[in-house]
Structure 1
């Protein structure tokens, strides 16, 4: 005798989790780019080191709030620190989300200590007192002290790169370990998440550089050197897009021909109800258009077009997070009907509040910290 049970599998990981993945990806991408000058020794990228780390820290300050807000009992989030499960990617992620921002904060302090010490001597008013406090008594500007700072910058940056990759890579492992979900259960999932993080992290870095150099740098202009650097970073974004798109094509080819469950999942995204969000927004708007902008000779030299392409990458990666996290759960396991999902109003409200908080944190950071050096009225 055969028994058929129509068991529902509701969407458990919703919009809050998808946006959390988006924030951690932005942070990881920004940190890796910041390390190009400090860790990998590429001199032309040293000027973006502080910007990338500030972005990484600010994004990681907000990202875990989405996880906590998604919990039915958010006041109990701390229990994850006392219940280590060596077989759980989430358990490891709890400690990575703690170690990575702490390492980044110390790393950033060593990058700025010289300016803090100089500002404590040369500035006046609130900023002088603020910088004096942030020196924590370390005001030595001798060659030996500065060389020691450089050594710590290299060490902490070297530690930070794998931490940044692990913080976002573990999110891919969480999904890849779930065998019942054909869309997720692939070894490519962590790589897909990491490469899309590099795409979106580069896109946001470009936008932040354009805005902050115009309004918060001592010169308050985009110098020809800075414009050239931004256009150079846009070319990096182009190659990140190429790798990300290649991984996506490989993943869907394997998904399409692996088994019946994989074929059904691929069909939903390629021909079914999710094709507009996947092919239109994620692939077309988020990958193809930015790639074309960075390839065409006229648009790749225009900051306006590059800014537009960067915005497209952010929209595309948000769509990717929603497609894979929520869409992956909407594919039915035991019926022919997609599992319904509607974003809870309180979750939309929290996502909006957290986004405003992120903008405010970045504003304060660029307004108060010597990210582009000391104000012009200070003495060297």
Structure 2
């Protein structure tokens, strides 16, 4: 007698919205520092005005990020296990990520402490920004750590071969690009409310060019990735279909986060109408979060029946 047993396996993850929030916050932190590095590392003086806001925005978002990760782990002691040197696993992205957060945090505190001054006047801010730009060694190390931190979620997800939407060597690059957009969005928003007169025409023109370039790179990545997925087998096709059915991707990332700010930057007068710049800032942040939310949950949902 032959007995046939039937089993049903549920591909279910305990991940929730805390994970994309965690990715979003570390992206703001790393992206803000990389944008500030245009002044502190690459010597583009028109970006001096955002160095101080970038330091505090980066530190604040970095402080919040581990809280979301610890809440997602449900058992806070697991986080201590990850950062324990005795438990370091060279093959584990979590081990590398935990230590990257620590090294980045220490360097960021050293960078930020020079901005904790008694006066917030324009002269004091300019002098402190100049001092920060002078320490090239610390600034360069912080830039490299921020670059790695922005790419880290892409490495962590990209190593999961069972998920066609995530498994690509270019995912870290896309996380870097969208982290820069998130950093720009946060810094433009902060400077809009803290010092509108300090935003020079040269600064706005440069930011406009950088933002348009990053949006264009993001759109090219989305198009090329979608084309590759739709021509790479059933599992990859399902991943592409799941992503394009996601409202967070189509409406949040693609519509509000990329196409809308691109149109405003191309056809709106951002130099004279600062409201347009504020709207662009908010849209960039919405797009950066939507990208992480849609990528995480579309990737989890794209499972062959």
Question: Which segment is superposed worse, 3-12 or 101-110?
Answer: 3-12
Moved over 6 A (4+): none
Cα 1:280–1:172, aligned 2, differ >3 Å: closer, same or farther? Answer: same
Alignment partner for residue 293 of structure 2, among 322, 330, 333? 322
2: CA distance, partners of 1:15 / 1:188: 24
Alignment partner for residue 49 of structure 1, among 48, 51, 58? 51
Following TM superposition, by how much is the alpha carbon of 1:225 offset from its aligned partner in structure 2, in angstroms?
A: 4.8
Provide the residue aligned with 1:308 in structure 2.
Answer: 279
2: CA distance, partners of 1:225 / 1:174: 37
Alignment partner for residue 210 of structure 2, among 224, 236, 247? 236
**1:1-380 superposed matches below 5 A:** 5-82=7-84, 83-110=87-114, 112=115, 153-213=135-195, 222-223=196-197, 225-226=199-200, 229-270=203-244, 272=245, 274=246, 276-298=247-269, 301-333=272-304, 335=305
Contact map agreement 2:242 2:298 (CA 8 A) in 1: no
Following TM superposition, by how much is the alpha carbon of 1:266 offset from its aligned partner in structure 2, in angstroms?
A: 0.5
1: CA distance, partners of 2:28 / 2:42: 20
Ranges in structure 1 where 5+ consecutive residues have no aligned partner: 120-140, 214-221, 336-380
Contact map agreement 1:256 1:263 (CA 8 A) in 2: yes
Contact map agreement 1:35 1:157 (CA 8 A) in 2: yes
Cα 1:302–1:206, aligned 2, differ >3 Å: closer, same or farther? Answer: same
Contact map agreement 2:40 2:133 (CA 8 A) in 1: no
2: CA distance, partners of 1:240 / 1:206: 15
2: CA distance, partners of 1:284 / 1:300: 23
Cα 1:150–1:286, aligned 2, differ >3 Å: closer, same or farther? Answer: closer
Contact map agreement 1:57 1:105 (CA 8 A) in 2: yes
Contact map agreement 1:20 1:63 (CA 8 A) in 2: yes
Cα 1:224–1:208, aligned 2, differ >3 Å: closer, same or farther? Answer: closer
Contact map agreement 2:49 2:198 (CA 8 A) in 1: no
Following TM superposition, by how much is the alpha carbon of 1:252 offset from its aligned partner in structure 2, in angstroms?
A: 1.3
Higher CA-based Rg: 1
2: CA distance, partners of 1:48 / 1:204: 10
Contact map agreement 1:231 1:303 (CA 8 A) in 2: no
Contact map agreement 1:176 1:185 (CA 8 A) in 2: yes
Following TM superposition, by how much is the alpha carbon of 1:47 offset from its aligned partner in structure 2, in angstroms?
A: 2.4
Secondary structure at 1:269's aligned position in 2?
helix
Ranges in structure 2 where 5+ consecutive residues have no aligned partner: 120-126
Question: Which segment is superposed worse, 204-213 or 70-79?
Answer: 70-79
Provide the residue aligned with 2:122 in structure 1.
Answer: none
Following TM superposition, by how much is the alpha carbon of 1:72 offset from its aligned partner in structure 2, in angstroms?
A: 2.3
2: CA distance, partners of 1:172 / 1:237: 21
Secondary structure at 1:258's aligned position in 2?
coil
Following TM superposition, by how much is the alpha carbon of 1:76 offset from its aligned partner in structure 2, in angstroms?
A: 3.7
Contact map agreement 2:59 2:108 (CA 8 A) in 1: yes
Contact map agreement 1:294 1:300 (CA 8 A) in 2: no
Question: Which segment is superposed worse, 91-100 or 301-310?
Answer: 301-310
